[in-house]
Amino acid sequence: MPIDSTLVGKSFPATTPYQVTAEAVAGFAGAVGAATGDDAPVPPTFPIVVTFAAMLDFLDTEQIELSRIVHGDQKFHYERAVRIGDVLTATMSVTGLRQIGGNDIIATASEITDADGVLVCTTSATLVHRGGAA
């Protein structure tokens, strides 16, 4: 079932504030094989944890099954590195939608801001909704 084209341009509510803890960062860094420890930087892909929550909210709202989503592309542009102690929220919007071969290609953009509302990172992601296979 194609996704409603009126979604384009729509912004979704900001995610629940996410507290970046040393434990979460160490868990993420350990899982991807990145450096861990007090002086280790937060891995650059860590903000996906925040934007993934925004995506799950979006999928839930649109009643799209996660198992039919694959990641098409991902970009991060950092205003500053994420730090332990940050409280981050993501606001996602749908920036484009097209159909190719029975799949919906959903372009999204998210802004991740800190507790003061200051921009930390902008991201864009393309989600491929696989509609073709049964």
What is d(CA 82, CA 109) in angstroms, rounded to the nearest whole number?
18
d(CA 16, CA 33): 28
Closest CA to 105 of 62, 73, 134, 57: 73
Look up residue 23 and give its two tokens.
């434990």
Q: Which is nearer to other proteins, 12 or 47 (CB)?
A: 47
Interface ranges with other proteins (CB under 8 A): 24, 27-28, 30-35, 40-41, 43-45, 48-49, 52-53, 56, 66-78, 81, 126, 130, 132-134
CB 52 → other proteins: shortest distance, Å? 6
Shortest spacing between CB 125 and other proteins, in angstroms? 9
Residue 6 or 133 with smaller CB distance to other proteins: 133
- Distance of closest approach, residue 99 Cβ to other proteins, in angstroms: 16
Beta carbon nearer to other proteins, 10 or 70 = 70
Query: Per-residue DSSP letters for 23-86?
Result: HHHHHHHHHHT---STTSPPPTTTTHHHHHHHHHHHHHHHT--GGGEEEEEEEEEESS---TT-
Q: Compute the distance between CA of residue 97 and CA of residue 28 in angstroms, rounded to an integer.
A: 31
Q: Which is nearer to other proteins, 6 or 23 (CB)?
A: 23
Shortest Cβ 10–other proteins spacing (Å) = 23
